[in-house]
Each structure stands twice: as structure tokens, then as C-alpha cells.
């Protein structure tokens, strides 16, 4: 987002920061989950592979195999939770953008509906559509004040 902020006006930057504040609890969780999931999965896969393919499986090795399998399962669960949280981030972000678009008194209803449909049709490009809307709103406000 810092790269985009160089090209955005103060008005758009303020709105994007408000959106980021709304999403920050989710993004913090996602980064924490990703930070732990990848190393846990890697340690588990490496050690399970090493134990299964280099040494014969004995009764003494079974508890360690179980522990590494548990570590891998925890890593996979965190990875799955990360995926779900990312979906939630997109959903909350889209809801915020749609709500903000609907509140606009400067942009016509037709254009507002157009932006809302774009956000619903292309949720991954939500930020681009939202910034485009904010830029149009800012331009209309400047023209109205002239």
C-alpha cells in the first residue's frame, strides 16, 4: 500500500487508511498464522520424510512420528485458517467499500451502482475499483467547488 500512497491524493489516501484500519485486526491474524504455519509444515514434512525413508519404522520411532504428524496437522490447520481469514478480509473490505460508495452524495446513483456491481463481480480487484470511485468522487467535488 505504501507504493500506491505515492500516487494517491490526500483525500483518497485518507479513505484507504480508514479501510486499512478496519481490516487491520484481520491482517494481523493472517500474518501471524502464516508466520507459524509454513515453518510447522516444513519441519513436519522434513522430519517425517527423513524418519520414514531413512530409518526402519520401529516401536520407539512411533511417538516421534506421531509428534511430527501432529505438528504438521497444526501447521495445516493454521494454513487453512489463513485462507478463511483472507476470504473474510475480502468480504469485510468489499462491505466497507460498498457502504462508503452508497453514502456518497456527490456521485450519481447510476455510477454508484456501477461501482458496486464491479466490486461484487471482481472482489479481487476491489481496491482498484474503490480507488477509482474515490478519484471520481474527488474530481466531482472539486468541479462542484469551482
- Return d(Cα 88, Cα 138) in angstroms, integer: 29
The per-residue pLDDT for 116 is 94
Give the three-state DSSP class for 12. Answer: helix
The per-residue pLDDT for 6 is 54
The per-residue pLDDT for 2 is 44
Place of cell 458496486: 116
- Return d(Cα 15, Cα 139) in angstroms, integer: 15
Which parts of the chain register pLDDT below 70?
Answer: 1-6, 146
What 3 state SS string does 26-68 have?
A: HHHHHHHHHHHHHHHHHHHHHHHHHHHHHCCCCCCCHHHHHHH
Are 44 and 78 in contact by the 8 Å Cβ rule? The answer is no
Are 22 and 96 in contact by the 8 Å Cβ rule? The answer is yes
* Sign of the alpha-carbon torsion through 28, 29, 30, 34: positive
Place of cell 468541479: 143
Are 2 and 17 in contact by the 8 Å Cβ rule? The answer is no
Backbone angles phi, psi at 88, to 5 degrees: -65, -40
Amino acid at each position: 500500500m505504501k507504493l500506491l500512497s505515492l500516487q494517491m491524493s490526500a483525500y483518497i489516501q485518507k479513505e484507504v487508511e480508514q479501510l486499512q484500519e478496519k481490516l487491520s485486526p484481520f491482517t494481523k491474524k493472517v500474518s501471524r498464522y502464516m508466520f507459524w504455519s509454513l515453518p510447522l509444515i516444513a519441519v513436519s514434512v522434513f522430519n517425517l520424510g527423513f524418519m520414514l525413508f531413512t530409518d526402519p519404522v520401529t516401536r520407539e520411532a512411533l511417538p516421534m512420528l506421531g509428534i511430527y504428524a501432529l505438528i504438521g496437522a497444526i501447521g495445516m490447520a493454521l494454513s487453512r485458517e489463513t485462507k478463511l481469514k483472507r476470504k473474510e478480509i475480502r468480504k469485510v473490505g468489499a462491505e466497507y467499500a460498498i457502504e462508503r460508495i452508497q453514502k456518497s452524495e456527490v456521485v450519481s446513483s447510476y455510477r454508484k451502482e456501477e461501482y458496486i456491481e464491479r466490486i461484487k463481480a471482481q472482489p479481487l480487484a476491489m481496491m482498484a475499483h474503490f480507488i477509482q470511485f474515490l478519484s471520481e468522487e474527488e474530481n466531482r467535488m472539486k468541479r462542484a467547488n469551482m
